[in-house]
Amino acid sequence: MKAFDFKTVSNIHVEFGGVDRFGERLADWLPATKALVVTDHFLHQSGLIDGLKASLRRSGYPVAVFDSVEADPAEEIVRACRDLAVAEQAGVIIGVGGGSSMDVAKVVAALAKSSQEIAAAYGIGNLQGDRLPLIQIPTTAGTGSEVTGISILTTGENTKMGIVADQLYADRVLLDARLTLGLPKLHTAATGIDAMVHAIEAYTSVHLKNPISDMLAREALRLLSSNLLAVCADGNNIAAREAMLLGAMFAGQSFANAPVAAVHALAYPLGGQFHIPHGLSNALMLGPVLEFNVSGAAQLYAELGDVLGVSRSGHADVDARAFISRLLVLVNGSGAPRRLRDVGVPADSLPALARDAIKQTRLLQNNPVRLDEGDILTIYERAY
């Protein structure tokens, strides 16, 4: 067997309604200290985290809240959150929300104890020093950010860059599906498809794919694919919500170790230039990228077809395309937009998108088929 490493968080607690008792669990691990909750304005004002704040305070943790996180968070948001963490003398950082809030929480937990500039931390293994204790509580079943050592930030006008470091793995994760019950259908669909993309790209990742990441990717895809339409049809289906949250977490563990590839590389410019939510941009690029990749990933796609219940023909190319077709039936059934034109992307922007996407070398190197800028433009055209 080829040697490999597998990394993940050290403690994951799964409990419906567990957020209301989280302070008690935290007290068993961490002495009382100031907690900084990192979230967005909508979640804070909605009252969704009131139970968390009350539970923390009952257990002796004073609470401060940073609620200015936005989708595709810019460096300025991270700096503002870090400044608040330092001013409040926070002893623990708690990310609550989607991937953006959790990504900000990760970086702030590190930078609050460091003088390092954000720009110096981009890339793999460049983050310096230790961090504050870090807890992640997702409110969407999509990004898997709660169990990854990756943070994605927006730099400049519209470029996204990643920080990949062991320090970004959380100490504790809480999966409470009750926090996902109010998620609108479109957001539910987009985040669920995002999680399926994580599982699929981890399974076909060129460099660090391994038996554990494969196992998690398959189980993630099984849970996600068998519950996506149910949770889109009935957002209060607790069993389906819990399955989606667990599947998204498994997918996160998988791609944290076997990194994602071209779907994400082509999705990032859509978020940077047109502020299309990350999950939706992945959904838009999924079909065209997978179809382009068949020449290099047919056998692996055929294996994933087994997870979706696709019958084998004995021909890998045929089975791979059958897998993609079954996957796109799910995407269509979820109600997520399918074409770039449907979300307001102008046709004349495609060359600029391709120029940005080719710069995502950290991701493109993991793709089972090598892509040049012309290939990427062709894929965007097929997605249009």
Which residue, 144, 229, 226, is CA-closest to 188?
229
Q: Does domain 12-180 have CATH number 3.30.70.360?
A: no
Domain ranges (residues) in the chain: 12-180, 185-383
For tokens 């779907």, the residue is: 263
The 10 Å Cβ neighbour count of residue 334 is: 20
pLDDT at position 169 is 97
Which pLDDT belongs to residue 287? 95
Superfamily of 185-383 according to CATH: Dehydroquinate synthase-like - alpha domain (1.20.1090.10)
- The answer on pLDDT for 90 being more than 90 is yes
How buried is residue 274: exposed, middle or buried, by Cβ count under 10 Å (0-12/13-18/19+)?
Answer: middle
DSSP 344: T
Using CB atoms within 10 Å of the CB of residue 181, give its burial: 0 to 12 exposed, 13 to 18 middle, 19+ buried: middle
Residue tagged 């990441």 (tokens): 213
Once rounded to an integer, what is the mean pLDDT over residues 27-46? 96
Query: Is the torsion defined by CA of 4, 367, 328, 98 positive or negative?
Result: positive
What pLDDT, in 10s, does the model give residues 247-270? Answer: 999 999 999 999 999 999 999 999
Identical fold at 12-180 and 185-383? no
Question: What confidence category does residue 182 fall into, taking pLDDT thresholds of 50, 70 and 90?
Answer: confident
Residue 71: φ, ψ to 5°: -60, 145
CA 311 to the chain's CA centroid: 30
- 367, two tokens: 């793709």
pLDDT of residue 72: 86
In 30-130, DSSP assigns E strands to: 35-38, 63-66, 92-97, 123-124
- Give me the pLDDT at residue 348, please: 96
pTM of the model: 0.95
Non-local CB neighbours of 333 within 8 Å, separated by 6+ positions = 228, 229, 232
308-314: long-range contacts at Cβ-Cβ below 8 A with a sequence spacing of 24 or more? 308/221, 308/225
Residue with tokens 């997702």: 138
